[in-house]
Structure 1
């Protein structure tokens, strides 16, 4: 995915700004959670001294820098579709004094052609395949660049879980009295990411196993984690300004686009107290997969 200079880099913009809604506390809580994901991905990767790790879809370098900190002799290849994010990661690596152990490659997960076959010991990803249409080809590339005995370790949200929501539920909140208005807001998101075809929603844990087996990984493990629990109380302004992923608007932007002024007031007046009181249900599923070539 190449971009011209006048286009927004949605990946960089989202990772560094829009996923936190400008809320420092939310950023701190999110990073604590992501650090736990990073640690688990790296544990499954079984990275050893002197090895080379390829972090596909490295983003701001969460897993890649975690690997560099685990050993002073590992080499890490940062790979991403966003040159801005690669530049950002490179500047961090320079400040950390680890630039000599880093390489930066602009490439999508399904076409890692800048990297030779059997060149790396470990491939990692975190929330990358949810943006890849041809996931099978991505697994082919993971397998191709790994040395014999190399390991793959990935983390992916299973966003198909819990979808579609019933008409009276909006983001886990019961909005029965304003269901028709809420459906207009839902429509903005469903138009951008259709439930039956968007890469973020067109797979589950069983597909991940099949992808790995079909390309020849000889040993495959998968851990599925499902949570259904009461929602936490949220800051309404943060909720308004946060985008759930790089390809969708914030709630505030969606409401502005979908609703007339009177509808906006009705929708917000009903939803805001529910969100601030945590009166909803969170339904989520994530998968960790690790495999050996």
Structure 2
């Protein structure tokens, strides 16, 4: 039963489950959906890099690199005297990063390190100029520890630059943004399954809590911008039902089709899908993307004693 699923959700994302989601399930294994996601992320990556101010000769630590999307951009900025350290909890993803770096002809600027995003113990204190991250804290059990670690490894004057996305609100009468008029009693059961599989770390905090944690980690110079993108006519990921149903919103979450199968009988599923198919293929998806950009600078040793932290 959906009500019993929540207690079974691990707060720690396993490397295998994380890799499978990054490489396949977040796109439903569809190349067109992957390209659309990359296009959506392109301005986000540009903004993170602008806040990071990566310079020639810098050492950059890319937290939870996935397939190297942020780190590859940093490689272009560090020059031949700098280094980008790609990190991943998953050996499979670390190899994907290595391949992408080699394909770009920039392997001489890169290092690769397997570690958890909240435990940087293989990295010495004050060893890096920039820490980059993209919306990973919702998959980390101890987010405050993670931020303390990012502060620790930075040199004085080093920059932490990242985006954190937050889940949008649950909207009655919609399932994943699609209208469910006439079948909302069925959609509500599917929604319950999706929410039951979502770890507590995904939604038990917001941008105000994040600011408190960043400051508590030891950062004294912090800028934060929170924004929400709203649209009622999104065709992301694809306006094709047989593809959209295969996509999972997170590494711990079922695809839409899997949630439907878990929540409904075959007859009920057919009734709900008849409505969803029309909405998906018409591109009538309401989206809410709350997100926060953060830039934080580690203080110099003579500023508030931050250098001794």
Q: TM-score, normalised by structure 1?
A: 0.91
1:125 corresponds to 2:127:
no
Shift of 1:2: 9.3
CA distance, structure 2, for counterparts of residue 20 and residue 215 of structure 1? 34
1:86 corresponds to 2:94:
yes
Unaligned runs of 5+ in 1: none
Partner of 1:165: 171
CA shift digits 1:226-280 (9 cap, x unpaired): 1222132321112111111211111111112221110011010112112211334
Partner of 2:59: 52
Asked if 1 retains the 8 angstrom alpha-carbon contact of 2:62 and 2:70, the reply is yes
Secondary structure of 2:292's match?
A: strand
Partner of 1:273: 278
CA distance, structure 2, for counterparts of residue 254 and residue 184 of structure 1? 9
Shift of 1:93: 2.1
Secondary structure of 2:182's match?
A: helix
1:228 corresponds to 2:223:
no
Aligned residues: 283
4+ residue runs over 4 A deviation: none
CA distance, structure 1, for counterparts of residue 163 and residue 13 of structure 2? 25
Asked if 2 retains the 8 angstrom alpha-carbon contact of 1:2 and 1:81, the reply is no
CA shift digits 1:98-145 (9 cap, x unpaired): 223222111112111010111100001002111012111111000000
Secondary structure of 2:141's match?
A: coil
Secondary structure of 1:243's match?
A: coil
CA distance, structure 2, for counterparts of residue 282 and residue 12 of structure 1? 26
Greater alpha carbon shift after TM alignment, 176-185 vs 39-48: 176-185
Partner of 1:96: 104
1:259 corresponds to 2:264:
yes
Partner of 1:141: 149
Q: RMSD over aligned Cα, in angstroms?
A: 1.7
CA distance, structure 1, for counterparts of residue 205 and residue 247 of structure 2? 25
CA distance, structure 1, for counterparts of residue 191 and residue 22 of structure 2? 23
1:20 corresponds to 2:27:
yes
Secondary structure of 2:253's match?
A: coil
Unaligned runs of 5+ in 2: 1-11, 299-309
Q: TM-score, normalised by structure 2?
A: 0.87
Asked if 1 retains the 8 angstrom alpha-carbon contact of 2:232 and 2:286, the reply is yes
Asked if 2 retains the 8 angstrom alpha-carbon contact of 1:158 and 1:204, the reply is yes
CA distance, structure 2, for counterparts of residue 279 and residue 140 of structure 1? 42
